[in-house]
Structure 1
Amino acid sequence: MIDGIYTLANDVVYDQLVALLNSIEANAGRKIPVCIIPYNEKLDKVKAEVATRDNVTLFEDYASINYWDNFATQVWKNYPRAQKTWRQWGFSELYELPMHRKFCVLDGPFEKFIYFDADTLLMGPLDYVYEKLDHYDWVTNDFQYKSNLDYIFDGSENLMQQVFPVDNLQSHIFCAGWFAAKKNILSPEILASLQEKLQSGEADVMAFIAPDQSLFNYIVLRSGISYYNFAYHHPDQVTGNHWSSKFDVVDNVLYDQGRRLTYLHYMSIGSSAFTKLCASEDINIPYREVFLHYRYLKSPETRPQSFKRPSLILKLQQNTTDFFKQKIANIKLNYRNFRDNLT
C-alpha cells in the first residue's frame, strides 16, 4: 500500500510549491512520494521542478480532471443563489472552478494520502495521520469547527436538518486546504447519488465564499463516510496550523508551547506576496525567514541577500489590492446579513 501526498499548483504558486516540497523532504521523517495536480496548463516551471525530483510526479489523468471539472460545473451552474451572488460580486459564473480539481486525489496513485494546499509548509512527521486512516475514511487536523458555520453551510434550518441529520453539525466541518483520505472511498454510484441530490435542491445548503470547501464538506458528510478531526478530538496532540497564531521557531520548525506543529498554512495571503519576496522585494509575511529557508533549501546560492522597498507606484498598486481584499473580507464578515438581503 502506497502512502503519498497531493497538492494543487501551477506556475503562479511556483515559489510556494518549491518551499512545500522542500519542507516535506526535510520534515516528513521519511521519503514520501508527492503528486501535483495541475490547477491549469500554466505548468512550465512546475514541470521543470518535477524533472529534478525523483519522488515528485505530475497528475496526468485527464479523465479524472475532466470528470471533476464537469461534476463541479453541474453542481454550481444549477445553483441559482450562488450564480446570482457571484454576479453581484463581479465574479465568474463558475467561481474558483479549478480549485475543485482537488477531488482528483480520490482517483490518483496513492492508497492513503494527505492533501496540502500549495501555500503550506510541513513541520513534522505524518505517520500518525496515515495510521488514523486505518480506522477512518477521512481525517483532518484544523480548527474550522470554531469558525462560523455560515462559511461552509448556510441553508435554511429545515433544509439543513433534512440533509444533515447529525448531532452538532458545527463540530463536523473542516478546512479543505489540508485533509487525509483513502482512494476509492466514494464509488461511482455514491457520487451519482450525491450529484442527483445536489441538483434536486440540496445544493442550497452550501455557502459559496469558498465553493470547493463547501462541496468537500457536503460530500464527506452526506456520503456518511467515517470522519475524524484531530484538532476537535485531541486539541493538545498537535496544536496550531494558521499563520496568524504566535509560534516559537526552533531550527526553522514551529512549535506551540513546546509542541511541534504538523503544518503551517499561509491561507489568505496572496501568492503575489511570495513571488515578490523571492524577487528581492521587501515584503513582510509571517515567519518570513522560515519560508525563505524552505524555499531556498536546495539552492541557497539563489536566495536574495538583500531586499528593496517597493516603489511608490507598487505601493499604490498594493494599497489598491489591499483595499479590494478588505472589501471581500468585509463581505465575508457580514455574510449572514448579505445573504438575508438576497431573499
Structure 2
Amino acid sequence: MNGICTLANDRVFDQLVALLNSIEVNIGRDTPVCIYPFDDKLDRIRAEIQNRPNVSIYDDQDSIRAWDGFMQRIAPERLDQKLRLYGAHRRFCAFDAPFDRFIYMDADTLAISPMNHIFELLNEHDWAVYDFQFLDPSKIYNLDAPKLYEVFSKERIDREIFCSGFYAAKRGLFDRHQRETMIAQLVAGDREILYGGAGEQPVLNYMVMKSGIKSCNLAQLLPFGQSTGCSVTSNHFEEKDHVLYDRGQRLTYIHYIGVKPQRMEEVCRSGMGHFPYRDLFLHYRFLHEPEKRPVLKEAPKPTFVQKVLTKLRRA
C-alpha cells in the first residue's frame, strides 16, 4: 500500500491542517496519511483527524523507542544525549510501518501535484527526492572534516545529498542489522563528518549514502527546463487556481522552509505578518473553514528605535 507520511505535534497544527487539505485536493481525498509524533503534544491533532478517516497517528511504541535509541547512541559525546534527542528523527519510523511505499512530507509543505510521478520512481529506485540541496552540501556534511572524503567521494557529495523535507522510499530499508552497523561506524568516527546544526537531516543523508541503496533526484533526472523549484525562497513562482507554476511547469510541492511556526500561527490567528506565498497557505489552511480565515492586516511600521535595535541584533 502507498501512502503519505509526515511528522507533527500541536505546535505545527496550522501547517499540518494546510498539508492535509492540500493532499486531499491535489492528490486525493482518500489518500492514506500517517502522522509520526514529534512528541506527546497531540491533543489538537487528535481532535482534527476524528473527521479524517484516511489519517492516523503512528503509535508503535517499540518502533518509536528503537529509533529514539538509535539517535541517542550516535549523538556526539560532547553533547548531553537527552538534549540531543528531539523528535524530528521519528520520521524514520516510516521505514518500519505502515506503508509499503511512501512519500514523506514535512508538515510545512503543501502538495501541489498528484504524486504518481514520484511513486513511479520507486519502480526502479529505493529512494527518490526532488530538491536542490546538492548545491549546498555545507548543511549536510562538515566540509572541513579531514575524514569526509575518505567516507564519501566529492563526486557523490556533490550529486547525492538531499533535503529531508520530502522524499519517497520503501518499507524495511534500514533493518536492525543495518542500524547496528551504522551506529558502529558513526561512533568509530564517521559522525565527525556530519554537519552539526541540522538534526536528523545529515544522519538521513549518511544512512542513504552509506547503505548503497539505489537513489535518484528528479531535479537531476529531468531534462533542462522541465524541473521545478520547491522552496518559498524562490520568488518567481506563479499562482493560478491555488496551484504554483515554475516557468509554466506545475510544482510537485512547496516547502515553507525557514518560516517559523510562530509566524504562521500569528498570521492564522490575527492576520498580522507576512511570508512568501502566504495567501496560498491560507487557502489550504482554511479550506474547510473559510469563515475562520483571518482578514489580513498590514504590520505597523517599525519605529526608529526598533530599526536600530533590529540592526544591532543582526550585527
**1:217 pairs with 2:205:** yes
1:273 aligns with 2:263: yes
Residues 32-84 of structure 1: CA deviation (Å, up to 9, x unaligned):
11000111111110001111101100010111111111111111143x4xx3x
Q: Distance in 2 between matches of 1:116 and 1:276?
A: 23
Contact 1:281–1:310 (CA under 8 A) maintained in structure 2: no
Moved more, 295-304 or 110-119: 295-304
Query: Structure 1 residues 236, 182: CA separation in 2 closer, same or farther (over 3 Å shift)?
Result: farther
Match of 1:300 in 2: 290
TM-score by length of 1: 0.84
The whole-number CA distance in structure 2 between the counterparts of 1:271 and 1:310 is: 21
Distance 1:155 1:201 in 2: 15
State the AA in 1 paired with 2:205: N
Q: Which runs of 5+ in 1 are unaligned?
A: 328-343
* Aligned residue number for residue 239 of structure 1: 228
CA displacement 1:127-179 (0-9 Å, x = unmatched): 011111011111000000111x2221116565223222573421110000111
- Measure how far apart 1:309 and its partner are: 4.2
Which of 58, 77, 99 in structure 2 is aligned with 1:110? 99
Q: Please tell me whether the aligned partners of residues 39 and 87 of structure 2 are also in contact (alpha carbons under 8 angstroms).
A: yes
Which position in structure 2 is the counterpart of 1:130?
119
Alignment partner, residue 284 of structure 1: 274
Counterpart code for 2:238: D
Q: Percent identity?
A: 39
Which residue among 141, 144, 164 is the counterpart of 1:176? 164
The partner residue of 1:121 within 110, 126, 143 is 110
Q: Which runs of 4+ in 1 moved over 3 A?
A: 92-96, 155-158, 165-168, 235-238, 305-313
Say whether 1:38 aligns with 2:37: yes
Structure 1 equivalent of residue 70 of structure 2: 71
Matched-pair contact (CA < 8 Å) for 2:102–2:169:
yes
Equivalent-residue separation in structure 2 for 1:304 and 1:242 (angstroms): 24
The match for 1:153 is 141
Q: What's the counterpart of residue 54 of structure 1?
A: 53
d(CA) in 2 for partners of 1:72, 1:117: 19
After TM superposition, list the pairs within 5 Å mapping 1:175-194 onto structure 2: 175-194=163-182
Of stretches 195-204 and 298-307 in structure 1, the one that deviates more from structure 2 is 298-307
Asked if the contact 1:17/1:118 (under 8 Å) is kept, the reply is yes
Q: Is the 8 A contact 2:19 2:284 kept in 1?
A: yes
User: How far apart are residue 263 of structure 1 and its match?
Assistant: 0.4
Distance in 2, Cα, partners of 1:214 & 1:270: 21
Distance 1:116 1:136 in 2: 18
* Contiguous gaps of at least 5 residues in structure 2: none
Moved more, 298-307 or 240-249: 298-307
Q: Secondary structure at the match of 2:155?
A: coil
Residue of structure 1 equivalent to 2:239 = 249
In the superposition, the TM-score normalised over structure 2's length comes to 0.91
Contact kept in structure 2, 1:122 and 1:262, CA below 8 Å = yes
Structure 1 range deviating more: 232-241 or 52-61: 232-241
The 3-state SS of whatever aligns with 1:54 is: coil
Q: Render the CA deviation track for 1:256-309: whole Å, top value 9, x for unaligned.
A: 011000000001110001110111231111111111100011111221235474
1:323 deviation in Å? 7.8
Contact 1:282–1:310 (8 Å) recurs in 2 = no
Question: Structure 2: how far apart are the matches of 1:180 and 1:240?
Answer: 17
Residue 15 (str. 1) matches residue 14 (str. 2): yes
1:140 equivalent in alignment to 2:129: yes
Output the amino acid matched with 2:10: D
Amino acid at match of 1:132: L
Instruction: Tell me, in whole angstroms, the C-alpha distance in 2 between the residues paired with 1:323 and 1:296.
Output: 38
Distance, in Å, in 2 between the alignment partners of 1:225 and 1:298 is 41
8 Å CA contact retained: 1:145, 1:171: yes
Q: Which moved more, 1:26-35 or 1:194-203?
A: 26-35
In the alignment, which residue of structure 2 is the partner of 1:27? Answer: 26
Change (3 A) 1:309 1:159: closer
Q: CA RMSD in A?
A: 2.5
